[in-house]
């Protein structure tokens, strides 16, 4: 490693390599914090496994020499339909922290959703992004890095909540991702066994700083949260609202009625209620309920280009990745995150070429077929 | 351990911890007696595994700050929809025996079903419960511990059977749980291999004491048992009758006709006939057959709050736990049983909050969806 | 062991114990000959595993104190719906051979199907059976042991085939079990690897002795075999004809048309064509095709009382067991076979009591429900 | 080994033996090159596993003494419905290379599809075949070895593509197998880990020799490839065109419209896009779309006679084998390939006899039934 290039993880072939590298570098309690989930971690495992129960049914001879992976989200162009979902405590994973992560994501031409539990102030993250040169997109990438989005746990103290929103707005964030799957805290048994209950000295949730006292407030999980708070948010900010954590189609329909701008199908990486469906299994019913009135996003278990392709074929406009970004960060800091995103981009590009889709819009529902028991059911055979 | 506080198992995170602690403390033959089942123990395993084939489909933004877990059973309020199903030989598990167990269950504000094979007289158990202070329920618990219920294997000797019922009534039991799945004894191969065929010296089935001779009678499995005996029981006592061991919907319909007060879907913890369905798999058809004319309960395989939630979403009004109570008892006596019940209560409370249900009545059928092969089928997609 | 009682395998708890004991005593090549099957042995495994995909849905309170396991087959009473399917080379398993096996089966009050590949002449086997005292059936068993049945591979040499039939008739056999699943020999790779291609010196297929030359003929698998040969058999003997090896419902329908007396659903223990369905999976369609015009039997994978119950609920009138008889024979000679049959009888009796069926006729279709992926599907829920 | 007979692998019992022998002889990087696939190799595994999810439902008593395995393909007779699919780099596996392989395949009376990535010129391969004596078919085989077919990756340089076609025509090839599943190169992670990126010195793709410069050109994966190129091929050669790599039924329908002569359902052995269906799972919908207007072939995962029978019952006219030929070649050169093909022929012949089919035409759809979770679903029972 010399001073002019970023350190890199030697030749990771796939995301699993970076996951293994991250495990080698992290304190086991921290690795378990990032890897673990609620209860028996059925949903953690299911998120990944569920993608294996779909098969891609490729088209051939479609002339896919000129592929364009870009998608539009709230009027902005993103270089591929893969965002970085919010994840907590980046400085626990690597000194590069949220700022390094943000630079890597900006370099990839896509969106970082800044966590309310970030260990770096949103303003610092935004400043890091601002220093990035326009991303040299191979084909016709966007002229500048897309904006950050900001993730919000609505706090019972409305004034404080509003102050956080104003910080995000002032930092130039392009959307508010409102987490609604956390009326109480998910019980993560790995953390209980490690006694990992708080951040180590020197790290804190910088976006929870009280504007009056200057002290860091604890993030409150608010069990009283209901749709009236969404209406209040709708009135409080002009930022697009993305409702994160919707799994039930009835809630997706309510989201449309309450005027949010997008729904993000998510089970919080299996960290809130163990035993809920894998995100990709919940997706079709949500897409059906929304009926095109809103864009639907998904996160949970995306590890391969075919996972992205599957989610888009089932109706998502884009997906988020959470743990893979942390693996890259832990394994190699900013450069590790770049590797994660470029591996995913290349994998998606290849999958699209091989499936005969030259753009996200060309990823039609007929390109994917469900499987049973981990094995494809004969295509087109009704059971 | 000092004299003023009950001994406790250090920081069990979940019921599996208590199960492991119990195994460490028990004689292997006794552990196998509690853990084992009939035949190849397919149903033992299936009881737990079957819950993994359902997924909870949570609602969000439902304002679940004020949750109330109480349910009404035969006019009495129970602090949560989790009872202690009858299990034999508590003093084999721990010196605290049935009395300690009963105190813990009363402290939790719920019902203990006293086993006909208890190693403590029902009167002693009732006396232990009577000494308990009114449970300090966090929200609005019942003013006093709920009554005991009493489990009955109807004996061919009707006079003796009646004498047992009179003892249960006199001890203040609130219902009679009539086990009907045992026309013959289930063959438990672990016990045969251990040669575990009888209680050790000093322990006996105290509720089988002959009122005339004072001797302990053997519990007879009566293959001739039929619905006429249920009619006789109906005439013999005013206690509510709970029919335990119903799996076939046709029997559930007959139960309604014969005027029993509740049906308990159970396969006797997989200890009677190996190869019958998991309780939760048998539940929907029983609920359908009963059609709301009776409350339906379930036991078998409940280990997590989401298991309780699943059973209630499928139509049960409450569930019983058997082996977990024994794990608590073996691991830590009375305090171990308390830990089991409070872990379950907290897990259920958390699951309800995260699923958007603020009371058992709010656990509607749409909150649960079946899965295939241990993986959720896409929600709302018909196969 | 003293001289007056038969040697016994100490306390086998279930058939798996006898299987393990057999393995310990047999030459590995011989154990593999008995245990192995064709190709990758998928069907061998599937025969047993398939029963695990059904669940027994028991009835309760049916007053099953007086159970009667007897069934009628071709006008004769058998003590239980479990026969001994034909298996080759008994003297390879134990010196007691077919004669000892026959005595044990007669003692159990059921039918032995003598193999055409028996290492003992059918006349000797019949003589062994004739020495048995009438079986002391606990309830109301038959006054004398049921007749032997005789298994036939129809040989291209009709005169020789007829001579074999005449021997079977003269020996008092009660039916002819015609194996039709063997137009060519199944390829058993374990035997090829062992080089096990022929019987050791001193053993031969005694029922293949040429009536003219006195020499032992090789059993010919006749690929030209067709329904005309069944018609010829029908004209050649008055013995009831049981067609063994039917899996396809169209063949079951043809069997009715050609006037055979019973169909035995079998895949030859997975020893002929690997990849055919488990017997129990093929049963329903055959029962449907036969539509009550013939009795249907089944063999393959029966190891537990619930397996017998499952087959009967799906429409079989009785089942055969093959390998379990060999396990008993290898493990303990005649007494081992007795243990196998009495374990099975007790297991079936218990299963019937616990399922609420006091006779084979009471084992109705609603007592069994299919499962998916080794787990019961919610009863009564259509998928 | 003496000079007059070919060396042989001692007594391989099945193809798995040859696969193991190949692994022992090959450089691990080369073994991984042949064995590996794209991504997580789900499709590689699925190709084989998927056949296990079908069951053969045999007919009996059909008089199958005179079996004839021959099929007609483009007016020529092949000795059995099993071809050798194109595979690259035979001289990497064994010095006998493509020429030895071709002799073995000709000896078996079937067709070798010469790979565009062969390490031997097509002319040399054709010359090797020409030296073979007419195959002594046991029954009534063809009078001479069938022609070679030639596999083509259409190159962007049309003139060069045409020159390759002319070489294939001049060498007497009987059909052109056009691979359409490779708009980009599949990413094989085993090769990346080994750094196996190019042929060793002395080996090259002989069919890529530039007719002008005499140099070896690299095979270009052409992402721009579309149906117009198929039309161009249709006009450029009179050879029958086989479209290889079709999985989507819509593409099969287009193939009919564009006048190709056959469709080969294939996923390139799982080497192009991981996560596509197993070939046999994609087959039924393609057969349905083609509706008899074209012959449909299949390759991927064929290892047993029952696999061939399954594919034919589902509508294929013949199947190809890829890796098994390489296993034979690596294990024993020309003789190893012979062993592979004769093992497969014998296995298919036996399977057909045991299933009651005396010719490929007699392999009707009712002979195969799908299974669920690796276990046959009750035959004829709709789910």
Q: B289 vs B51, B247, C81, D216, CA distance in Å?
A: 21, 11, 33, 76
> Other CB atoms closer than 10 Å to residue B227's CB: what's the count?
17
Mean residue pLDDT across chain C: 92
Tell me how far CA of residue A185 lies from CA of A219, B60, B354, D178, D253, in angstroms: 10, 14, 9, 57, 53
Q: Which residues pair with B370 in a beta bridge?
A: B54
Chain B residues in contact with A45 by the CB 8 A cut-off are none
Q: Which helix (H) or strand (E) holds B90?
A: helix B90-93
Contacts of B58 in chain A (CB under 8 A): 181, 247-248, 273, 276
If you measure CA to CA, which chain C residue comes closest to B383? C383
pLDDT lower than 70: segments of chain A: 1-10, 134-145, 372-383
How far apart (Å, rounded) are the C-alpha atoms in residues A329 and A99? 11
Residue B257, phi then psi, degrees to nearest 5: -60, -35
Which tens digits make up the pLDDT trace of C99-109? Answer: 999 999 999 99
Per-residue pLDDT at C375: 47
- Bridging pattern class, strands A71-73 and A76-78: antiparallel
pLDDT tens for C238-247 read: 999 999 999 9
Summarize the confidence of residues B125-140 as an average pLDDT. 75
- Direct distance between the N- and C-terminal alpha carbons of chain B, in angstroms, rounded to an integer: 57
Question: Residue C201: is it exposed, middle or buried by C-beta count within 10 angstroms (0-12/13-18/19+)?
Answer: exposed
Given phi > 0 = left and psi -120 to 50 = alpha, else beta, which region is C97? left
Contact of D160 with chain C, judged by CB distance below 8 Å, is answered with no
CA distance B94 to B86: 16
Q: What is the average per-residue pLDDT within C165-181?
A: 98
**Contact across the interface for A13 and D193, Cβ inside 8 Å:** yes
Percent of the residues in chain B that have a pLDDT greater than 90, as a whole number: 88
E strand spans, B109-154: 113-114, 149-152
- Residue identified by tokens 């009625």 is A257
Pairing of strands A368-372, D375-376: unpaired
Residue in chain C lying closest to D376 (CA): C277
| Minimum mean pLDDT range among A300-304, D195-199, D239-243, D339-343 | D195-199
The sheet carrying C375-376 orders its strands as: C54-56, C368-372, C375-376
Contact of B61 with A251, CB cutoff 8 Å: yes
- Strands B149-152 and B176-179: what pairing? parallel
- Whether residue A46 lies within 8 A of chain B, CB to CB, comes out as yes
Across B34-50, average pLDDT:
97
Question: Tell me: the pLDDT tens digits for D2-42?
Answer: 334 455 556 899 999 999 999 999 999 999 999 999 999 99
H/E segment holding residue D149: strand D149-152
Is A313 at the interface with chain B, CB within 8 A? no
Active-site annotation of D, residues: 268
Cα distance from B116 to chain C (closest Cα, Å)? Answer: 19
Q: For residue range B199-211, what is the model confidence (pLDDT) as tens digits?
A: 999 999 999 999 9
pLDDT of C143? 59
**How close D270 comes to chain C (CA, Å)?**
23
pLDDT at site C379: 52
Which of C326, C337, C348 lies closest to C106, judged by CA?
Answer: C337
Burial category of A382 from C-beta neighbours within 10 Å (exposed 0-12, middle 13-18, buried 19 and up)? exposed
Could you give the angle at the alpha carbon of C264 between the alpha carbons of D381 and C352, nearest 5°?
Answer: 75
Residues on chain C touching B251 (C-beta within 8 angstroms):
59-61
* Rounded CA separation D279/D37 (Å): 14
- Neighbours of B, requiring at least 3 CB pairs below 8 Å, are A, C
Nearest-by-CA chain B residue for A244: B60
Instruction: Report how far apart, in Å, the C-alpha atoms of C63 and of each of A357, B153, C375, D179, D259 are.
Output: 67, 15, 30, 70, 73
Which of B131-135, C138-142, C230-234 bottoms out in mean pLDDT, i.e. has the lowest? C138-142
Place of tokens 């171990």: B336
Give the pLDDT of residue C147: 84
pLDDT digits (tens, 9 = 90+) for C2-39: 334 455 556 899 999 999 999 999 999 999 999 999 99
Distance CA D347, CA D361 (A): 17
Taking CA atoms, A108 is separated from A84, A140, C47, in Å, by 11, 13, 55
| For residue B248, pLDDT beyond 60 | yes
pLDDT band at residue B1 using 50, 70 and 90 as cut-offs: very low
Once rounded to an integer, what is the mean pLDDT over residues C274-286? 95
Q: How far away is chain C from the Cα of D331, in angstroms, using its nearest Cα?
A: 19
Q: What is chain D's mean pLDDT, rounded?
A: 92
Phi-psi region of B202 (alpha: psi -120 to 50; beta: other; left: phi over 0): left
Sign of CA dihedral C217, C221, C224, C230: positive
Are the C-beta atoms of A376 and A55 separated by less than 8 Å? Answer: yes
pLDDT of residue D306: 98
- Give the DSSP letter string of D166-200: HHHHHTT---EEEE-S-SS----HHHHHHT--SPP
Q: Over 50: is that where the pLDDT of C301 sits?
A: yes
B268 is annotated as an active-site residue: yes
- Which of chain D's residues have a Cβ under 8 Å away from the Cβ of C224? 63-65
Phi, psi of A162 (to 5 degrees): -60, -40
Residue B91 has pLDDT above 50, yes or no: yes
- Provide the percentage of residues in chain C whose pLDDT is more than 90: 88
Distance of CA B54 to the CA centre of its chain: 21
The pLDDT, as a whole number, for residue B369 is: 87
Task: Give the helix ranges, DSSP H, for chain C.
Answer: 15-25, 28-35, 42-51, 90-93, 97-107, 122-130, 158-170, 189-194, 227-236, 249-257, 279-290, 305-313, 323-355
Picking from D233, D121, D93, the residue whose alpha carbon sits closest to that of residue D177 is D233
Q: Name the residue among A126, A148, A125 with its Cα closest to residue A74.
A: A148
SS3 letters for chain A?
Answer: CCCCCCCCCCCCCCHHHHHHHHHHHCCHHHHHHHHCCCCCCHHHHHHHHHHCCEEECCCCCECCCCCCCCEEECCEEECCCEEECCCCCHHHHCCCHHHHHHHHHHHCCCCEEECCCCCCCHHHHHHHHHCCCCCCCCCCCCCCCCCCEEEECCCCCHHHHHHHHHHHHHCCCCCEEEECCCCCCCCCHHHHHHCCCCCCCCCCCHHHECCCCCCECCCCCCCCCEHHHHHHHHHHCCCCEEEEEECCHHHHHHHHHCCCCEEEECCHHHCCCCCCCCHHHHHHHHHHHHCCCCCEEEECCCCCHHHHHHHHHCCCCEEEECHHHHHHHHHHHHHHHHHHHHHHHHHHHHHHHHHCCCCHHHCCHHHEEEEECCEECCCCCCC
Which among B275, B296, B369 is the top mutation candidate for probing chain C, defined by the most C β-carbons within 10 Å of its own β-carbon?
Answer: B275
Q: How many of the other CB atoms lie within 10 Å of CB of D328?
A: 34
Confidence check: pLDDT of D43 > 70: yes
Decide if C253 touches D, using CB distance below 8 A. Answer: no
Per residue in D72-101, pLDDT (tens digit) is 999 999 999 999 999 999 999 999 999 999
Q: Is A292 left (phi over 0), alpha (psi -120 to 50) or beta?
A: left
The pLDDT value recorded for residue C56 is 96
> What residues of chain C lie within 8 A of the CB of B281, using their CB?
55, 375-379
In this predicted structure, the answer to whether residue D356 has a pLDDT above a threshold of 90 is: yes
Mean pLDDT of D303-308: 98
Q: pLDDT by residue (tens digit) across C178-208?
A: 999 999 999 999 999 999 988 999 999 999 9
Please identify which residue in the block is written with the tokens 């991981």. Answer: D274
Mutate to test the interface with A, among D55, D155, D183 (most CBs of A within 10 A): D183
Q: Do D60 and C180 touch (CB under 8 A)?
A: yes
Check B304 against A274: CB less than 8 A apart. yes
Predicted local distance difference test score (pLDDT) of residue A135: 61
The interface pTM score, or ipTM, of the predicted complex is 0.94
pLDDT digits (tens, 9 = 90+) for D210-228: 999 999 999 999 999 999 9
Closest-CA distance of chain D to residue C227, Å:
6
**Interval C121-128 mean pLDDT:** 98
Contact indicator for A265, A297 with CB cutoff of 8 Å = yes
């Amino acid at each position: 490693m010399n001073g002019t290039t970023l350190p890199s993880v030697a030749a990771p072939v796939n995301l699993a390599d970076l996951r293994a590298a991250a495990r080698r570098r992290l304190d086991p309690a921290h690795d378990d914090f990032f890897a673990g989930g609620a209860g028996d971690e059925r949903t953690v495992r299911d998120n990944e496994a569920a993608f294996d129960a779909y098969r891609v049914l490729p088209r051939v001879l479609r002339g896919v020499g000129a592929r364009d992976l870009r998608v539009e989200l709230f009027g902005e162009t993103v270089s591929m339909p893969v965002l970085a979902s919010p994840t907590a405590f980046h400085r626990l994973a690597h000194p590069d922290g949220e700022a390094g992560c943000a630079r890597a994501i900006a370099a990839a031409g896509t969106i970082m959703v800044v966590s309310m539990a970030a260990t770096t102030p949103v303003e610092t993250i935004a400043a890091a992004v601002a220093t990035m040169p326009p991303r040299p997109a191979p084909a016709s990438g966007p002229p500048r890095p897309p904006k950050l989005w900001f993730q919000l746990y609505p706090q019972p103290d409305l004034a404080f909540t509003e102050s956080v929103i104003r910080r995000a707005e002032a930092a130039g964030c392009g959307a508010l991702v409102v987490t609604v799957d956390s009326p109480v805290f998910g019980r993560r048994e790995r953390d209980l066994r490690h006694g990992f209950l708080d951040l180590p000295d020197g790290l804190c949730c910088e976006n929870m700083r009280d504007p009056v006292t200057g002290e860091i407030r604890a993030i409150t999980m608010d069990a009283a949260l209901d749709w009236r708070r969404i209406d209040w948010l709708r009135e409080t900010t002009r930022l697009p609202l993305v409702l994160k954590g919707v799994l039930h189609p009835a809630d997706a329909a309510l989201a449309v009625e309450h005027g949010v701008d997008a729904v993000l199908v998510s089970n919080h990486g299996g960290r809130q209620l163990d035993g809920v469906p894998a995100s990709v299994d919940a997706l079709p019913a949500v897409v059906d309920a929304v009926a095109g009135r809103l864009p639907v996003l998904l996160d949970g278990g995306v590890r391969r280009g075919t996972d992205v392709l599957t989610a888009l074929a089932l109706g998502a406009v884009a997906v988020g990745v959470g743990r893979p970004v942390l693996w890259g960060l832990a394994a190699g800091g900013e450069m590790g995150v770049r590797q994660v995103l470029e591996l995913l981009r290349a994998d998606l590009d290849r999958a699209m070429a091989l499936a005969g889709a030259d753009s996200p819009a060309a990823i039609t529902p007929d390109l994917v077929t469900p499987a049973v028991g981990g094995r494809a059911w004969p295509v087109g055979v009704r059971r």
